[in-house]
Amino acid sequence: MIYFDNSATTKPDPEVLETFLKVNQYYYANPSSIHSFGGKVEKLLQQARAQFSKLLNVKENEIFFTSGGTESNNTAIKGTAFHHQKRGKHIITTSIEHPSIIESCEQLKDFGFEITYLNVDEKGVLNINELEKSIREDTILVSIMQVNNEVGSIQPINQIGQLLKNYPKILFHVDHVQGYGKVDLDLNNDGIDLCTISAHKIHGLKGTGLLYIREGIQLSPLITGGEQERKLRSGTENTSGIVAFAKALRLEKERSIKGILQIKEILKLLRDELSSIEEISIHTPQKYAAPHILNFSVKHYKGEVIVHALEEMDIYVSTTSACSSKKNIPSRTLLAMGRTEEMANSSIRVSLAFENTMEEAIIFIQSLKKVISNLEKVMRRSV
């Protein structure tokens, strides 16, 4: 099997799985219980939080555990909106964000909030000047995805953060789900107030994520009913998932230098080979793009047709993001980048992990060429 759908989810690392099982087996008490067994589990949770603090170079009290990227994004958007609505009801984001951002913003419209969706250029990158022009007296939040999950374009996070330092009343949220381990982000020097990371994108387990909240910032909780996570996120902590997440974060960081070099070489081969195929248009920009995502279209064929044809060869890729792929609608990101609706309907996303190999890439190209050739034969017979 060749698995090139790592932006949707990654294969759990064996060490991560081992940690998860061990914690479930030996540290299964509720960390909120007052007995000594619960105390041991609470201590384990504190140790995991300390590890996150060290790896991300932030304070321990700035780490809040959630069920994943979607919950973290919802908490950042709605938590900011509801807590700071007396100061203003205007939010700025882009037209190519993850659905958990877009739909949270759309929901807030029902509560009287106004949303500005910034356009992007043909490379999928926003214009800093347009962002500054969009800022109003009542703007309370700017939320920008660092690495786009469909095409891999990288937003100028540092420039945005420096700009927003001139507007201290505006909070800056960054969706770092696709970036961790692949694209650097400095939570201290990039002016970031809120940041989302998800475990299952870095070989951790589904159902675990975190939201970094800079010390001193207040948000309204979305889930109430307990004292957990300093009252921001009630509910018994997923201790085993959190400890396993810490292990995944550490392993991803340790492997990133060598791993990035490897996937850059693989991506270059893929780009070079795909560029030589007449029927293919590549949408991922050559510059300002993450090293693990490549998005392209095959002329005349919907993306799902190619996906299923490759699946029969035991090769797994995707069309849009996993959260949107079953909706069977054109890629919103590609339309925003000025691509035609035909291209947006025919897009394919290849997304790599450090464990992928050059041999897999070569087999993928050979298989894709065979798929296109077979489809063309079918088309000619039907004419």
Domains of the chain: 2-7+255-378 (3.90.1150.10), 14-250 (3.40.640.10)
Measured distance CA(67)–CA(87) in Å, rounded: 29
Contact 311, 325 (CB under 8 A): no
pLDDT of res. 330:
87
Contact 182, 172 (CB under 8 A): no
User: Which pair of structure tokens corresponds to residue 234?
Assistant: 């009630």
Give catalytic residues, as residue numbers.
323
Over residues 258-285, the pLDDT tens digits come to 999 999 999 999 999 999 999 999 999 9
pLDDT of res. 320:
72
Measured distance CA(362)–CA(281) in Å, rounded: 19
Over residues 76-114, the pLDDT tens digits come to 999 999 999 999 999 999 999 999 999 999 999 999 999
Give the SS3 label for residue 269.
helix
pLDDT of res. 226:
86
Give the SS3 label for residue 116.
strand
Measured distance CA(350)–CA(294) in Å, rounded: 5
Q: Calculate mean pLDDT across residues 150-175.
A: 97
| Confidence check: pLDDT of 328 > 70 | no
User: Which pair of structure tokens corresponds to residue 99?
Assistant: 């659905």
Q: Calculate mean pLDDT across residues 348-367.
A: 98
| Confidence check: pLDDT of 324 > 60 | no
